[in-house]
Structure 1
Amino acid sequence: MNQILQKDELIKRIDSCLKKTSLPQDIYEPYVARPFQTTGFFDDLSPYIDIDPSGYILIQYERGIKVLHKRTKEADEVVYWILEDTIFLTVYLDMMRQYQVDNIQTHLPNDPSIHKQIVERVHESFRAIGGLYEKWHHEGKRASIETPAKK
């Protein structure tokens, strides 16, 4: 039987993985605990997690509407799902910082070299983390996690 980890234990695992990368901690740190918020504004298509005695409920919203509500008992799936989102977001925000854009009035150039840099940095981050999470990243497991469960 899988042990159900609580919020603080999951956050510790996620943070431990992210510290293995070269990503700027000041950017990713606020996003590590965000998936466990239960009230307020929910960012579109970001992962949110509810924990109950039988496991984890994976939740996503789009325009305020819940578009994903799926159960898992696997803590590693929760950690991986949050890592995928947090790593991509951190890389993107760091690129915005480098190009001095605000994503409101100024934006990253729509250029294949920018996209390539983002993809390479995400891959590099998962390479630094290694193990199961790197394997799942290359297999595209996020898509299967975000596929709603069949009823």
Structure 2
Amino acid sequence: MKQIQQKDELMKRIGTFLQKTSLPRDIYEPYIARPFQTTGFFDDLSPYIEIVQNGYILIQYERGVQVLHKRTTEADEVIYWILEDTIFLTVYLDMMKKYQVDNIHTHLPSDPSIHKQIVDRVNESFRAIGGLYEKWHHEGKRATIETQAKK
């Protein structure tokens, strides 16, 4: 049986990987713990993790309704899923800061060059992390993780 890593171990590994990137720590750091919250408001389509005795339950909500509830025993899948979300969110928030938009009254321009900058920075971050996580990023593993297992 695989050893199930606890919240603190997973958060430490995620933080170590994110430190390899050029992403602003002040933006990503608060989001490392978010996936492990168990009460309160759940952001739409963000990853949430429940650690159980024999693995992990991957959870997502949309408009307050749970849309994903899937089990895995793979800590690497959990870490990758959180990295994928945190890296994209950090890049997006940093771009909002760069373009001085608040996403309420002002928004990032709908411009292919903005989209390219986001994609390039996400790819650059995974390149800095390397290994399995970079491979999974380029293979689009997030989509397979977020696909509900057949019953």
**How big is each residue's C-alpha offset from its partner over 1:71-128, in whole Å with a ceiling of 9 and x where there is no partner?**
0000000000000000000000000000000000001010000000000000000000
Can you give the 5+ residue segments of structure 1 that lack an aligned partner in the other structure?
none
Report the equivalent of 2:145.
145
Report the equivalent of 2:102.
102
* Secondary structure of the structure 1 residue equivalent to 2:114: helix
Cα distance between partner residues in 2 of 1:142 and 1:103: 25
* Secondary structure of the structure 1 residue equivalent to 2:40: coil
* Secondary structure of the structure 1 residue equivalent to 2:59: strand
Cα distance between partner residues in 1 of 2:149 and 2:33: 25
* Secondary structure of the structure 2 residue equivalent to 1:115: helix
TM-score, normalised via structure 2 length: 0.99
* Secondary structure of the structure 1 residue equivalent to 2:98: helix
Cα distance between partner residues in 1 of 2:144 and 2:25: 28
Report the equivalent of 2:116.
116
Q: Which amino acid aligns with 1:135?
A: K
* Secondary structure of the structure 1 residue equivalent to 2:44: coil
Q: Which amino acid aligns with 1:69?
A: H
Amino-acid identity (%)? 83
Shift of 1:2: 1.5
Cα distance between partner residues in 1 of 2:138 and 2:6: 27
Runs of 4+ with deviation above 4 angstroms: none
What is the aligned-residue RMSD (CA, Å)? 0.4
Report the equivalent of 2:57.
57
Cα distance between partner residues in 2 of 1:55 and 1:27: 29
Report the equivalent of 1:127.
127
Report the equivalent of 2:70.
70
* Secondary structure of the structure 2 residue equivalent to 1:106: coil
Cα distance between partner residues in 2 of 1:85 and 1:3: 24
Can you give the 5+ residue segments of structure 2 that lack an aligned partner in the other structure?
none
Cα distance between partner residues in 1 of 2:79 and 2:125: 14
* Secondary structure of the structure 2 residue equivalent to 1:33: helix
Report the equivalent of 2:19.
19
* Secondary structure of the structure 2 residue equivalent to 1:31: helix
Q: 1:20-39 residue pairs with structure 2 within 5 A? A: 20-39=20-39
